[in-house]
Structure 1
Amino acid sequence: MDKLVDLSSKSETNSPIRVTSSGNASRFNGVPDWVYEEEVFSSDYALWWSPDATKIAFLHLDETAVDEYTYPVYNPTEDAHTVVPYPNHVVMKYPKPGYNNPRVTVHVFQLDEYFDVMRDLGDDANSTEIAQGVTAELYWDGMYRLEDSIIAEVAWVSGDAFLVREVTRAAEDGNVVYFDFRNTFRNVGKVVRKLGKDGEQGDDGWIDPIQAIHPLPPSLAPDGQPAYLDIVPTSSGYNHIALFSPANFSTPRFLTFGDWEVTSGILAVDANRSLVYFQAANPSSTQRHIYAVPLPKLDGQKPEEVKALTDTSSPGYYDASFSPEGGFYLLSYEGPHAPWQRIIHVFDDKFDYVLTDNPQLNDTLAQYELPIVTHSTIESDGYELNVLEMRPPRMDDSGRTKYPVLFRVYGGPGSQMVDTRFSLDWHAYLVTELQYIVVVVDGRGTGFRGRTLRNPVKNNLGRWETVDQIYAAKLWAAKDYVDPKRIGIWGWSYGGFMSSKVVEADAGVHSLAMAVAPVTSWRLYDSIYTERYMNLPAENPDGYVTASISNVTGFHHADFLLAHGSGDDNVHFANSAHLLDMLTAEKVRGFRFRMFTDSDHSIYRRGANRELYEFMTEFLLEKWGKGGKRRSW
């Protein structure tokens, strides 16, 4: 970001205002580098307007010291027959665990002051010098060294006040810092909230990468002081809505509570009715419902009961998008049945505008037999885990027919695969056409069931998740309708890592595994994600060994399929190359491997996605055959 253009009605010029002059190929203003876009903001911008449009907060990212990663592009065209004698190469700054991160600082450009100064100095003023003169770099006591700092969130809570959330690379300590631009020392902030073991989290887990700060409308702010809502873990480890009023207050005042979690941040605040709208994994962690809760009117007032706006009497998965003042919202039903959307008027129960109810999809679904989906839980080492099972229609569960079982896994920290959303994909084909059973188990480390379930994987990625997957496979192997010789597992990305870890464990229950674009060594993945869960390699050297694929003896004992795109800029192909090297050294030869030329992490280039799924389907049919095997009595 080297230029800003003010288009408001009070603008005194239509010319661009150059705010910064420091940008180059390695230094960015207002836009994130690769790792911040991927792991922190999940967006392509790093600037934030104040609510009254008088100021802009932005990040300056300097990745000069970040090491480069290079990979080839063998064919830049969409024609697979094109011959390119000298491939191009992509060179990207990609920080890996223990190596240099981008150095990030926070700045604020004060547009209102810029216009004041320009008006005073007249036409002869140098606009660039003035803009830089009213741009402040921010500081605060207790700042982490730039080498150890992650700026995790920036949020305005009024036209003059905003917050910065800073955490360490290991995401074990952090602060929320308050800035008030009405003060004389406006660029010096005050730490108002402490995060981590000695702060709001209060345990040995990580600080969740949540960006949920939501300012209260001025009409609801007491005495005109800014206030805001945030998602904060309670003492029992569940993420809930907390009020901080005024905004420089340190103690959260919880609006919601219970053994369930708020999942989407704050959807809206209705200032007229003093209501806060949100989505929650309640009454079951596999569901999503929309709720409202009143803002407290008095200090010390106990939180009021939340009110469900969706039908919680039957399983459902809902999302909502509210109008700016909360008077209307688009309600999206996402499962378990066919999705639909309606517009709801909060003041008129009779208002019911159907945006879409998918009649053609419902007609089509009525013509086919679909998988029979059941939800349940199992207990592994005292932890209750969510399970989804997809069975073929009209399956013989008497025990006379033995069916193969394919476990689908992701399992990354804070993730969720077991939910009640509508889905028809490749797994539905396996179940209905090939007569396989597909099972999904969300093990330790996964999300929306509190920090007690998430925290065990800290510094131990892959250990307890593997234990849970193997335990679940043994439970299914003992079922009357399951063929214990045909139990497999497959996953993509973190799921590919999990599939590989299960093979490495060599527990004797999985006869087949498929890994797509897997991480095989956490020293090869990006720094911000990995260090959040594993700390830095120098602080956890043994953990990095045990969390990676380090012993491939078990690969002799399973039918293994490996696939990866050579142009993967996220989980680099180096991960699969590393695993292939270890398999070569161990003389493991009975596996199947495909490199998909120039495909990125999604594996789509030049028809690769369909080919990948057909490749895996043929592998399953070759190793297991089709359907259940009926035995004679």
Structure 2
Amino acid sequence: MSRPQFVLEADDTEDQRLRSSELPRYSEDSIDELALDRSVFEKDERFRDEGKMEQGEEEEDEFLYGKVPSRKQPRKPFIALLLIILALAALIGIFSARSFKAPTWIKKGGNKHITMDHVFNGTFAIKSKRIDWVKEATDGVYSHRTDEGDIVLQDASKPDYEEVLLNATDVREATGNQLMFQDWRLSADMRYVALKTDHRKLWRHSSYGNFYIHRLSDHKTFSLRLPSHPAEIAYVDWSPTSHSIAYVYKNNLYVVPAKDLDKLETAGQVPEAIQVTKDGSDTIFNGVPDWVYEEEVFSNNFAFWWSPQSEIIAYLRSDETEVKDYTLQYYNPNGAAFDPQPYPENFVMKYPKPGTPNPIVTVHMFSLQGHLASASAKNSTKQLQWEGSMPLDKRIIAEVSWLGSEELLVKEVDRSAKKGNIVLFTGGRAQGKVVRTLGKEGEEGDDGWIDHNQQAIPVKGTDGYLDIVPTKDGYNHIAFFPTLDSSDPIFVTEGEWEVADGIAGVDQNRKLVYFLAASPTTERHLYQARLPSTGALDDFASNMTALTDTSVPGYHSASFSPRSGFYLLNYLGPDIPKQTLVTVDEPGLDVVIEDNAKLNATSSEFCMPIRTHSVIQSDGVDINVVETLPPNFEASGRKKYPVLLNPYGGPGSQSVNQKFARDWSHHLVCEHKIIVLTVDGRGTGFKGRSFRNWVRDDLGRYETIDQINAAKEWAKRRYIDNKRIGIWGWSFGGFLTSKVIEADSGIFTLGTFFATVTNWLYYDSIYTERYMSTPEENELGYVNSAVNNVTAFEHADFLLAHGSGDDNVHYANTANLLEKFTQAQVRGFRFRMFTDSDHSMSGFRAYREVYEFMTAFLDEKWSGNRKVHD
């Protein structure tokens, strides 16, 4: 069942400064007049803090009504009053029918107030269970860890079945002391468990640990390597068959063959390992990504891949010797503010910025089978090459995927993500050939960017594979390539919507592929689609079936068992999240393994905000919007509400969705009666390439226009106090907030921004050049995207903050903006530096303090109740 959409036309006649052609921009002749400051970003992530907060009393009067003079209502005849009431009722009815979508979770709540304590102390925490499907067992068997620390096996087809695989008390050091492990991974043949201790975080996805191998047959525990303090093993991974194990230690790749694990007899013994690489160092990485590849390409902590039969390992070698250094200073390195160290600690990291050298990345293969036959790691290792490859210093290796026991696919793109190749290697040979072309002259067919995704999956029983490819209309869909060297795919899915989050599962026996559809764009529904038959490719037509209820709003994710006979369905909203184990052949056997009953009961006690999804138009383009309204909301205009926009807005991201949430914005809505508006403008995800490509080489222009046009539309609504319209954001959202204030539209009177990019020359090369091209190619674009028109900030109340230890969006961004304020004599704003805090500002209790800081600022500027200390 389709749901109505309320389409609004932005007023193009009001305030001509907002028109696309008249935002602050610079010509080629004016470039030299500006300082080309050297320039940030990250994915849309939300961080949680476990701190506690004082309960605040509701201050409704000035927040809700603003400082509006009271008026006497003139007396009117009863009939006239009745006619007015009827007319208003009709208007409100029409408005509601067009704009209001009542998600299923909107129901009568309780009377408890959502305080800052509730936001940060876990009151609304969502519980979820981790399960790990066990490949070698019967399909549907999975492992998970109990609250006592044991690892148990369960069977999705037998709800009452449970077998203790590993008793935590059996895991002991050679001394007999119990080992307390933080993470585990079961070998493919279920004979060994790898256990991680002494976890030491590095970057967003990476960490170090000491690893132990526990043999289940005799309950003996062995060290993978002699433990070190601090721990230095970066990553371990079992082979897909048997129980060989590979790991990275001090940036070198090692492999322990299964037979050498079996030789171990005495607890505490260390297995003999094959050292695959020997040149690992602080600047050369084997089998793990350097900082920029971890952050911007793979979004994980590994860069080696076992072949399906466990005979070959493909791995990346990254040489960042020529990458320029960036020094982070830690002023309070021991975390003891009242016991200071006289000198800060310097941490030097390699951080490539636009136009500067990137790491040199090459792809290699190590043949474990060949090594065991020749006993020479050197002779068993090959560097992969191909005719027509891009220069090493001009390319990004964006994907490495095994399609068979000796068939490997590699994706390379240029720095600007405009050109790319898919390269095929067969027979375990080091020489490959280009089989697909990417970019404007290839599969994308436009001037946008090539996504750095890893999506290719082989289809057993065929000579082909599946990948996510844009259709000629620019929507990402599942495509079947009938042969490994084919460049002409058959689309398994199609339509003006997009497949989200890659391919969820493939059932080789039933010839089905499972995926999540962003249809409608703010939702995620699970579907299955029929795979083409190799004997009837010419007659194939897309055939899809929804597996979740598409007649009501829903946001889902799914994890499939190895043979896709079962899956864990995660319902993430808009109602209270839950997890269900689903049996494909027998839906009646579905088992809810987490219903978040406690959260459901807790939520029912609190005041409930109202969320309405709608679509507006900005420059004739449809834009998704979600408005969060306070309980007992009055649309009549008698009460005037302030509105705070909260964009993220980065390329390919999505903030307007149907996920369940209870966060700081709900505190603002319920307690301060501030309406929160989230707008996914041009450039954001899941609406096709043409929608995203607006921002190519021009970050901050159209995203800004869309936020301003949305604010203008809301300013016309009778229930909005158009003197109290603000905007806030973090990371890319902070960049967008600063660009909105810079635009000086006359609409926004307040802005707050955190960990903000202020010049793209300060951010990392791979992210920035993907969307902005290189500075050499797009000099003017970099100038226009920077925050330069700082005098506009005099026309708004604003606040900004940054962590001095931010390794992602460097503090230099904010430092540069502050210097521009000084030179332009911009005064009266608020600023805080959070000492040693990273991009999330989560350390040293800073994260909650950020929100206290911002709440107090809103309170002062919009209600006058208390003063923020300068």
Q: What TM-score do you get using the length of structure 1 for normalisation?
A: 0.94
For residue 189 of structure 1, what is the amino acid of its counterpart? G
Please list, as runs of the form range in 1=range in 2, the aligned pairs for 1:15-34 lying within 5 A after superposition: 15-34=272-291
Structure 1 residues 456-495: aligned runs within 5 Å: 456-495=694-733
Equivalent position to 1:528, from 766, 787, 808: 766
The 1:10/1:213 distance shift into structure 2, 3 A limit, reads farther
For the Cα contact (< 8 Å) 1:12–1:115, is it kept in 2?
no
Name the residue aligned to 2:334.
77
SS at match of 1:204: coil
Deviation by residue 1:434-460 (Cα, 9 ceiling, x = unmatched): 000000000000000000100010000
> Is 2:642 the counterpart of 1:404?
yes
Q: Which residue of 1 aligns with 2:469?
A: 232
Tell me: CA distance 1:91–1:250, structure 2 relative to 1, closer, same or farther (3 Å). same
1:310 aligns with 2:548: yes
- Structure 2 residue corresponding to 1:562, chosen from 800, 813, 818: 800
Residue of structure 1 in register with 2:308 after alignment: 51
State the one-letter code of the partner of 2:448: G
CA distance in 1, matches of 2:661, 2:450: 31
Structure 1 residue 395: Cα displacement? 1.2
For residue 522 of structure 2, what is the aligned residue in structure 1? Answer: 286
Partner of 2:838: 600
2:383 is matched with 137
1:246 maps onto 2:483 in alignment? yes
Structure 1 unaligned residues grouped into runs of 5+: 119-129, 628-633
Residue 27 of structure 1 contacts residue 61 of structure 1 at CA under 8 Å; is this kept in 2? yes
Distance, in Å, in 2 between the alignment partners of 1:251 and 1:10 is 45
- Which of 410, 418, 425 pairs up with 1:172? 418
2:255–2:276: 8 Å Cα contact kept in structure 1? no
Higher relative contact order (CA 8 A, sep 6+): 2
SS at match of 2:581: strand
Could you say which residue in structure 1 is the equivalent of 2:357?
100
Which ranges of structure 2 fall in alignment gaps of 5 or more residues? 1-247, 264-270, 866-870
- 1:123-522 aligned within 5 A: 130-181=376-427, 186-217=429-460, 220-221=461-462, 225=463, 227-282=464-519, 284-297=520-533, 298-522=536-760
Distance (Å, rounded) in 2 between the aligned partners of 1:17 and 1:161: 24
Larger Rg: 2
Indicate if the aligned counterparts of 2:471 and 2:477 stay in contact, CA closer than 8 A: yes
CA contact (8 A) 1:260 1:449 kept: yes
Partner Cα distance (1:151, 1:285) in 2: 30
Separation (CA, whole Å) in 2 of partners of 1:309 and 1:353: 16
SS of alignment partner, residue 849 of structure 2: helix
Instruction: Identify which of 258, 264, 282 aligns with 1:8.
Output: 258
Quote the offset at 1:60 in angstroms. 0.6
The one-letter code of the counterpart of 1:253 is I
Q: Distance in 2 between matches of 1:262 and 1:304?
A: 14
Output the amino acid matched with 1:4.
Y
**Aligned match of 1:126:** none
In the TM superposition, what is the alpha-carbon distance from 1:83 to its structure 2 partner? 1.1
State which drifts further: 352-361 or 196-205: 352-361
Q: CA shift at 1:465, angstroms? A: 0.3
Q: Is the 8 A contact 1:597 1:605 kept in 2?
A: no
Q: Aligned residue for 1:631?
A: none
**Shift in Å at residue 11 of structure 1?**
8.5
Task: Give the SS at the match of 1:606.
Answer: coil
1:397 CA drift (Å): 1.0
| C-alpha distance in 1 between matches for 2:738 and 2:855 | 19
8 Å CA contact 1:290–1:308 kept in 2: the answer is yes
Cα distance change of structure 1 residues 304 and 20 upon mapping to structure 2, 3 Å threshold: same
Amino acid at match of 1:305: N
Q: Residue deviations 1:330-354, cap 9 Å, x none? A: 1110000100011000011210211
Q: How many residues align?
A: 606
**Equivalent residue of 2:354, what SS?**
coil
Corresponding residue of 1:122? none
CA distance, structure 2, for counterparts of residue 232 and residue 268 of structure 1: 17
- Verify the 8 A CA contact 2:744 2:792 in the aligned structure 1: yes
**Structure 1 residue 626 displacement after superposition:** 8.1
Q: Is the Cα contact below 8 Å between 1:80 and 1:606 reproduced in 2? A: no
C-alpha offsets along residues 119-149 of structure 1, whole Å, 9 cap, x if unaligned?
Answer: xxxxxxxxxxx11111110111111111111
SS at match of 2:370: helix
CA displacement 1:233-275 (0-9 Å, x = unmatched): 0000000000112111111111000001000111111112111
Aligned-partner residue type, residue 178 of structure 1: L
Q: Aligned partner of 2:410: which letter?
A: V
Paired with 2:647 and 2:409, the residues of 1 have a C-alpha distance of 37
Offset, 1:77 = 2.5
Distance 1:188 1:564 in 2: 48
| DSSP-derived class of the 1:350 partner | helix
Contact 2:257–2:273 (CA<8 Å) still a contact in 1?
no
Question: C-alpha displacement at 1:301, in angstroms?
Answer: 2.4
Compared CA separation, residues 416 and 622, structure 1 to 2 (3 A): same
Q: Deviations over 1:348-407 (max 9, x none)?
A: 121021101111111111111211000000011121110000000101210111110000
